[in-house]
C-alpha cells in the first residue's frame, strides 16, 4: 500500500467533527499528524478541550493538538457559535471530564506552516470549521499555498441555500474574509459544500444499527449523536443527520469518491449575502475585468459518486455515501438509494474500518451487497 497521506485536521468539535476525526484515525490511508482548533460549533478554548478529549477516547494522545485563533482574520470577536446544533459542550451535552493532555505551545497557524515546511507538498489540511487558521498560515508565510499539498475544506453552499441563512453556509459565514483569502490563495483547494454533504445522511435506522454495536466508537457516537439528531428533526424534518465533516474527510482520503468541477470562487464579505460562495465556471469570457478575473481556480465537489473512474469495487469500497434520487427529493421525500456509513474493505480479510466499528462479517456482507447495487446506480 502507498505511504499514508499526512493530514492535519483543523476542527471545531463538534459532533460531526468527532465522527470525522474517528473516521480519519480508523483509515489506514491517512496519517493524522495533528489537530488544530478553531471556533465555530464551539468557542476555540472548548474546541481545544474537545480535540484533546477525542484523542484520549481514541487512545491517540500521541497526536499533537495546536490551538487556533479566538477571533476572525479581521480581529472580529462577534462569533457565531452553533451550540444549538451540537449542545453547549459541543459534544451532545455529555459533560465529559476534562482531558489530561495539553495543547502544544505553537499556534495552529504556526504548526500548519511548520508541517508544510517539514514535508513540502505532502501535507493535506482538512479544514472542518471557519478558515481563519488557514488564512493566518498564508499571512505568516506567503509561500505556504505552494508548500501545502492540498486544502480540503468543508464549506460553502454552491448554487443552493446556506444553513445559516439562504445565502451562507456556517463555516464560510464564520469568517468570510478568511475564506476569500483561502479560495484565492493559489493553493490546491478542494471545497466540499453543503450542496454535496446534504447527500450524505446517517438515518435514524443507521443510528439504531450503530446502537447494536459494542464498539468503543459506536457506543461513544450514539451518546453524542442524540442532540445532533434532534436538531435535524426540528430544523429539517429529516429522519437522519447530515454527515458534513465525515464527507469532507472522505474527500481527502479518496477524492475519487466525488465528482468535481473547477473554477474561481469568491466570497461575499458584507451585506445581506455575507458568506455567500460564488463560483465562476469560466464558460463566459466577460468583456470587462471582474472580481473573478485572473484569480486561481479551485476544485468544487458537485456530487458524491462519479460516473467513470470510481475506485469502489477495486478491493476497497468506501461507504458513507447515500445517494439521493434528486427527482424524488423535489417531491419533498428523502429516498435513500444507497446506505452505507462506513469505510468497507471488501477484500478477503473482511476488515471494516468503520466510523462506529460495526464490524461483523455478516454486516459486512450485507453492506457490500447494498454497495454493489449502489455502484450500478452511480455508474449508469
Ligand X SMILES: O=c1[nH]cnc2c1ncn2[C@@H]1O[C@H](CO)[C@@H](O)[C@H]1O
Cβ atoms 18, 91 nearer than 8 A = yes
Cβ atoms 96, 53 nearer than 8 A = yes
Cβ atoms 301, 258 nearer than 8 A = yes
Exactly one of 9, 24, 164, 320 binds ligand X (CB under 6 A); which one? 164
Show the binding pattern over residues 16-55: x = contacts ligand X (CB under 6 A), - = does not.
x------------------------x--------------
- Residues 17, 225, 34, CA angle at the centre, nearest 5°? 20
CA distance 148 to 152: 11
Exactly one of 67, 89, 169, 206 binds ligand X (CB under 6 A); which one? 169
Does residue 244 have an active-site annotation? yes
Applying CB under 6 A, the span of 136-144, 161-169, 206-214, 218-226 interacting with ligand X comes to: 161-169
Catalytic residue among 86, 198, 244, 345: 244
Does residue 12 have an active-site annotation? yes
- Residues 22, 9, 261, CA angle at the centre, nearest 5°? 105
Which cell goes with 114? 511548520
Exactly one of 113, 170, 189, 298 binds ligand X (CB under 6 A); which one? 170
Among residues 81 and 375, whose Cβ is nearest to ligand X? 81
CA distance 245 to 192: 9
**Would you state the torsion angle of the CA atoms of residues 62, 93, 192, 182, taken in this order, to the nearest 10 degrees?**
-70
Show the binding pattern over residues 81-110: x = contacts ligand X (CB under 6 A), - = does not.
-x--x-------------------------
Applying CB under 6 A, the span of 52-60, 88-96, 165-173, 264-272 interacting with ligand X comes to: 165-173
Residues from 214 through 273 that contact ligand X (CB under 6 A): 244-245
Q: Does 14 interact with ligand X (rule: CB under 6 A)?
A: yes
Best CA proximity match to 241, nearest among 19, 78, 1: 19
- Looking up cell 466577460 gives 286
Provide the minimum distance between the beta carbon of 22 and ligand X in the complex, in angstroms, as a whole number. 15
CA distance 37 to 50: 9
Among residues 41 and 374, whose Cβ is nearest to ligand X? 41
Binding site for ligand X (CB under 6 A): 14, 16, 41, 82, 85, 128, 163-164, 169-171, 194, 244-245
Q: Which residues are catalytic?
A: 12, 244
Amino acid at each position: 500500500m502507498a505511504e499514508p497521506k499526512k493530514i492535519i485536521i483543523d476542527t471545531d468539535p463538534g459532533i460531526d467533527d468527532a465522527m470525522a476525526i474517528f473516521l480519519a484515525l480508523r483509515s489506514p490511508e491517512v496519517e493524522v499528524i495533528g489537530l488544530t482548533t478553531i471556533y465555530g460549533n464551539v468557542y476555540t478554548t472548548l474546541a481545544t478541550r474537545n480535540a484533546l478529549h477525542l484523542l484520549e477516547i481514541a487512545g491517540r494522545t500521541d497526536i499533537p493538538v495546536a490551538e487556533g485563533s479566538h477571533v476572525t482574520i479581521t480581529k472580529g470577536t462577534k462569533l457565531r457559535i452553533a451550540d444549538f446544533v451540537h449542545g453547549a459542550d459541543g459534544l451532545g451535552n455529555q459533560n465529559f471530564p476534562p482531558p489530561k493532555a495539553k495543547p502544544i505551545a505553537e499556534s495552529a497557524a504556526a504548526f500548519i506552516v511548520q508541517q508544510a515546511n517539514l514535508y513540502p507538498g505532502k501535507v493535506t489540511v482538512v479544514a472542518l470549521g471557519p478558515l481563519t487558521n488557514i488564512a493566518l498560515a498564508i499571512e505568516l508565510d506567503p509561500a505556504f499555498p505552494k508548500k501545502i499539498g492540498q486544502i480540503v475544506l468543508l464549506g460553502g453552499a454552491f448554487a443552493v441555500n446556506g444553513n445559516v441563512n439562504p445565502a451562507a453556509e456556517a463555516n464560510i459565514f464564520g469568517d468570510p474574509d478568511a475564506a476569500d483569502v483561502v479560495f484565492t490563495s493559489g493553493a490546491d483547494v478542494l471545497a466540499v459544500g453543503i450542496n454535496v454533504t446534504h447527500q450524505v445522511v446517517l438515518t435514524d435506522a443507521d443510528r439504531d444499527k450503530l446502537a447494536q454495536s459494542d464498539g468503543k466508537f459506536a457506543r461513544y457516537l450514539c451518546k453524542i449523536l442524540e442532540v445532533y439528531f434532534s436538531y435535524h428533526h426540528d430544523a429539517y424534518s429529516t429522519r437522519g443527520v447530515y454527515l458534513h465533516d465525515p464527507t469532507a474527510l472522505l474527500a481527502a482520503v479518496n477524492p475519487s469518491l466525488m465528482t468535481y468541477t473547477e473554477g474561481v470562487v469568491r466570497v461575499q464579505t458584507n451585506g445581506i449575502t455575507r458568506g455567500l460562495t460564488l463560483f465562476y465556471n469560466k464558460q463566459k469570457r466577460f468583456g470587462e475585468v471582474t472580481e473573478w478575473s485572473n484569480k486561481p481556480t479551485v476544485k468544487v465537489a458537485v456530487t458524491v459518486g462519479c460516473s467513470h473512474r470510481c475506485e469502489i469495487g477495486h478491493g476497497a469500497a468506501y461507504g458513507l455515501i447515500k445517494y439521493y434520487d434528486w427527482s424524488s427529493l423535489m417531491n419533498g421525500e428523502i429516498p435513500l438509494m444507497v446506505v452505507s456509513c462506513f469505510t468497507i474493505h471488501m477484500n478477503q480479510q473482511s476488515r471494516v474500518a468503520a466510523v462506529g466499528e460495526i464490524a461483523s462479517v455478516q454486516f459486512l456482507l450485507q453492506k457490500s451487497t447494498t454497495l454493489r447495487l449502489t455502484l450500478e446506480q452511480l455508474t449508469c
